[in-house]
Amino acid sequence: MATSSEEIQVNMLKPISLLFKIHAGQWPLVTNTGEGSIKPKAGFNGQYEAEVLRKAMKGRGTDEQTIIQVVTSCSNEQRQQISNYYKTMYGRKLVEDFGSELSGNFEKTVQALMLSAPRFDAAELKRAMKGLGTDEAALIEIMCTRTNAEILAIKLAYKKDYGGDLEDDLRSDTSGHFGKLMVSMSVGGRDEKSGVDVAKAKDDAKALYDAGEQQRGTDESRFNVILATRSFEQLRATFDEYAKISKKDIEKAIKSEFSGDIEKGLLTIVKCARNKAAYFAEQLYKSMKGLGTDDDTLIRVVVSRCEKDMEQIKHEFQRMYSQPLSQFIADDTSGDYKKILLAIVGN
């Protein structure tokens, strides 16, 4: 019997709530896996870095290169310490000084780096739902790719910074089957245990086939149940079993049964289950290909993945598009914006 979303939420909150309680405004920080392009700075001295940044912005003119060097050579946790030291030493907020001294996409990138990972995701979700229209692509990218722990941290940050409930805001800003998928993702209840249950994979594959290709119309809820709750490892086994039954790849099946944002959301889950780094490489490519640049997506992916899996993303980008990510960025951006993106991504 499938576990209800309420049961999943309760089970998830018990162990994780101890890890992610908020104390004095401190947020859970990204765990560096050693696969990021930005790593903690050896011999870090927060007071010294704060002083360097103050000198870079004091008086006439701004030393943008020094700012880039400092914020991209320290981990997110270290940047939070710099911000605290800066306020203690000078009675000024570092982010406000950045706001008055910098501009454009360069400023956006610096400000994004200065937020903890949960607060940055929360800010992007708020931006995506603010005002007229909705940036569904941003909602999909964040809600369908984060771990259970990351989702919970985002919800806490969202509540703290904006006073609202993320699930409620998602529910009011989206609708239909896409809205249901977003609410499901906001629970943070995906099974994350390792190991594959082959019999369950076969049953789920048959259930997906029966809910889509095998009948007239589509039972969207069955797709939601399976893709929203099973572990990525279990989903990969399910997709393999699906191909045996259908003779069609699960992505092709989803494209034939769904359309619009729900299709994009389900495909994102499939792609992340198979290769999350390749998914983000594709997001970066799409943000820069053709005329114009989707700077919101470019900044969001680069900043949110730089301490998690940027090295794998770079590898996948090279494999998929036969060009280094750094070269693609260099060809598509300019000025200090280009410099900071390249400093984050690395060679």
Q: 231 with 267: CB under 8 angstroms?
A: no
Q: What is the pLDDT of residue 217?
A: 67
Residue 27 has pLDDT above 90, yes or no: no
Q: What is the pLDDT of residue 1?
A: 40
- For residue 206 the two structure tokens come to 């048959």
Q: 52 with 66: CB under 8 angstroms?
A: yes
Looking at domain 46-102, its CATH superfamily turns out to be Annexin (1.10.220.10)
Q: What is the pLDDT of residue 111?
A: 98
Which of residues 213 and 66 earns the better pLDDT score?
66
Handedness of CA 31, 307, 129, 99 (dihedral sign): positive
Residue 56 has pLDDT above 70, yes or no: yes
How buried is residue 90: exposed, middle or buried, by Cβ count under 10 Å (0-12/13-18/19+)? middle
Q: 93 with 100: CB under 8 angstroms?
A: no
Q: Where are the domains of the chain?
A: 46-102, 117-187, 198-258, 286-345
Looking at domain 198-258, its CATH superfamily turns out to be Annexin (1.10.220.10)
Q: 253 with 270: CB under 8 angstroms?
A: no
pLDDT band at 247 (very low <50, low <70, confident <90, very high): confident
Q: What is the pLDDT of residue 81?
A: 98
Cα separation, 144 vs 231, whole angstroms: 12
Amino acid at site 271:
K
- For residue 177 the two structure tokens come to 């089957």
* Chain-centre distance for alpha carbon 130: 18
Contacts of 190 (CB under 8 A, 6+ apart): 147, 148, 228, 229, 230, 231
Residue 16 has pLDDT above 60, yes or no: no
Neighbours of 209 (CB within 10 A): 18
Cα separation, 165 vs 186, whole angstroms: 10
Neighbours of 85 (CB within 10 A): 19
The CATH number of the structural domain formed by 286-345 is 1.10.220.10
Q: What angle do CA 313, 316, 319 make, to 5 degrees?
A: 155
Which of residues 107 and 29 earns the better pLDDT score?
107
Q: Is 22 helix (H, G, I), strand (E, B) or coil?
A: coil
Residue 198 has pLDDT above 90, yes or no: yes
Which of residues 264 and 13 earns the better pLDDT score?
264
Nearest to 97 by CA among 49, 46, 56: 56
**Mean pLDDT score, 203-211:** 94
Common-topology check for domains 46-102 and 198-258: yes
Cα separation, 220 vs 254, whole angstroms: 10
- Terminal-to-terminal C-alpha distance of the chain: 49
The CATH number of the structural domain formed by 117-187 is 1.10.220.10
Q: 12 with 20: CB under 8 angstroms?
A: no
